[in-house]
Amino acid sequence: MRIRMTRDHDVALDGINIQRLKQGGSYDVPERFANRWLEKGIAVEDKAIDKAPETKTKKMTRKRKK
């Protein structure tokens, strides 16, 4: 599940290595951790996983008067 941290939090996602999740950072974590943090207010669900697609616009030119 993709979450965004509302404050710094130390966690051992693999049960061995501790890492610090920074406030404002977006992370992909297992649901068992994410659900607990969402309930406690440590994180919020990050629904902006994909960036908006790039759009290209056609350049408009004016015809010159002679």
The count of domains in the chain is 1
Question: Does 41 fall in a domain?
Answer: yes
Dihedral sign of CA atoms 10, 36, 22, 30 in order: positive
pTM comes to 0.64
Question: Does 33 fall in a domain?
Answer: yes
Question: Does 65 fall in a domain?
Answer: no
Question: Does 13 fall in a domain?
Answer: yes
pLDDT tens per residue across span 40-54? 999 999 887 555 555
Question: Does 62 fall in a domain?
Answer: no
pLDDT tens per residue across span 19-48? 999 999 999 999 999 999 999 999 999 887
Q: Which domain holds residue 29?
A: 2-45
Backbone angles phi, psi at 64, to 5 degrees: -80, 140
Pairing of strands 2-5, 26-28: antiparallel
Question: Does 24 fall in a domain?
Answer: yes
